[in-house]
Structure 1
Amino acid sequence: MVGMQYKVILPKNYDMGIIRKRVQDNGHKTDGFPGLNFKAYLITEAEKYENLYNSYAPLYLWNNYQGMNKFIFDGFYDNILESFGWQQINIGVPLSINLEKDFNKSRYVVEYAGNIPESKSLIKTPFNSINQYVKNTEKCLGNLLIYNPDKWGYSQFSFYQEKPKIDSVDHLTVYEVLHVSQ
């Protein structure tokens, strides 16, 4: 499996209705895409949920590299290039995945981004838990922990149907989910 995300940072005055319409019109096109476990169409809006910027930041979990390669190199990613220009695609390896059967009903995602500290052993690597910042963790529809040994960073994603109650914390982003393709 491979995790993939690109974050298109948009101006604070950008009309996010454009992204909402884009996903409404085209989100279904990745439903059933070969090799795709899921794609969550994520956005942030400036000053909403304490976010600092507007963004379009889809999150993918690929079952295999062939599906990801097809998406990137067979013209599908060209829509991003045409609309938003060259984007850095962040790639990571899933360390843990737990998705409930109702996962596709997710409407919010909380991401905690952290760093893996240098150490003599990785056996007991400390990954901070989103649970310490989210008040209603029992309503979680799934968790995904992706790490990148190239950058020694990780992101933990937790999925919710209702907006979670969170404590404000650095390295925490709250996304709205516009569509989930599986």
Structure 2
Amino acid sequence: MHAMQYELTLPADYDTGIIRARVSRVGHKLDDWPGLGLKTYLLRERGVHGSPVNLYAPFYLWNTVEGMNAFLWGGAFQGLSDDFGRPAVRQWTGLSYEQGVAADSPARFALRQRRPVPDGVVHAEAAQEAVDEARRLAREEGAVLAAAAVDTSRWETVHFSLWEHGDPDAAKDGGELFQVLHVSAPGRSALPGGRQW
């Protein structure tokens, strides 16, 4: 499993209805994309749910590198780059994926938590802590799914979870809460569950 995300920070007075309309118009195009586990079309709006910014930030879980590369290099990503400029694309190696207790519910909110892996820690222990946290999040009321991944170029873990409601407790611990505008999940059932090593 590979995780990927890019962010488009929008002006404070930006009409986020433009993003909503865009997702309504093109979101379905990845509903059957080969190699894609899931894509969540995510939005933060300034002043909503504590967000200080307007931010469009789709998050992906990929089953195959080929599917991810076909998206980035095969034309689908070109439209976004043409319209907004080419954003930096963050990529993480998967550590864990868990179906949540509300796995069959529609995802309305997403939570992203990024944490540094401190110097001097035992790598296996830090990775296991990330796996354990994904499992804990997946067991919380309203959790649709939870995943953990790591960026070893920055030594940073990311926890990504989807929720049927908008106030998971983890948001109080420095997480960023997003509205989910659409989910394309052609390969969600094929995402490998549990620990990824």
Fold conserved (TM > 0.5)? yes
Cα 1:34–1:176, aligned 2, differ >3 Å: closer, same or farther?
same
Question: 1:26 aligns to what SS in structure 2?
Answer: helix
TM-score (norm. length: structure 1): 0.90
Q: Which residue of 1 aligns with 2:111?
A: 110
Q: Is the 8 A contact 1:131 1:137 kept in 2?
A: no
Tell me, in whole angstroms, the C-alpha distance in 2 between the residues paired with 1:162 and 1:61: 21
Is 1:74 aligned to 2:74, yes or no?
A: yes
**5 Å matches for 1:136-175?**
137-166=140-169, 169=172, 171-175=174-178
Distance 1:137 1:161 in 2: 11
1:123 is displaced (CA, Å) by 2.4
Stretches of structure 2 that go unaligned for 5 or more consecutive residues are 186-197
Mapping for residues 1-182 of structure 1, pairs under 5 Å: 1-100=1-100, 101-102=103-104, 105-119=106-120, 121-125=122-126, 126-127=129-130, 129=133, 137-166=140-169, 169=172, 171-182=174-185
Match of 2:79, as an amino acid? N
Instruction: Give 1:47 deviation, angstroms.
Output: 1.5
Name the CA shift for 1:69/1:165 in 2 (closer, same or farther; >3 Å).
closer
How many equivalent residue pairs?
Answer: 179
**Match of 1:28, SS?**
helix
- Deviations, residues 143-177 of structure 1 (Å, cap 9, x unaligned): 01111011101111121112125476464210000
- Structure 2 Cα separation of the partners of residues 67 and 52 of structure 1: 33
Overall identity of the aligned pairs, in %: 31
> Offset at 1:8?
0.6
Aligned letter for 2:119?
A: E
Moved more, 113-122 or 75-84: 113-122
Q: Structure 1's 155 and 17: CA in aligned 2 closer, same or farther, altered over 3 A?
A: same
How much does 1:12 deviate? Answer: 1.0
Would you say the 8 A contact 2:38–2:62 is kept in 1?
Answer: yes
| Deviation, structure 1 residue 42 | 0.4
Secondary structure in 2 matching 1:137: coil
Residue pair 2:92, 2:149 contacting (<8 A) in 1 also = yes
RMSD in angstroms over aligned alpha carbons?
A: 2.3
Runs of 4+ with >6 A deviation? none
* Maintained 8 Å contact 1:130/1:156: yes
Distance 2:37 2:171 in 1: 31
The answer to whether the Cα contact below 8 Å between 2:111 and 2:171 also exists between their aligned partners in 1 is no
Instruction: State whether residues 134 and 148 of structure 2, in contact with CA within 8 Å, keep that contact through their aligned partners in structure 1.
Output: no
Partner Cα separation in structure 1 for residue 144 and residue 114 of structure 2: 19
Larger proportion of helix: 2
Unaligned runs of 5+ in 1: none
Superposition deviation, residue 124 in structure 1: 1.5
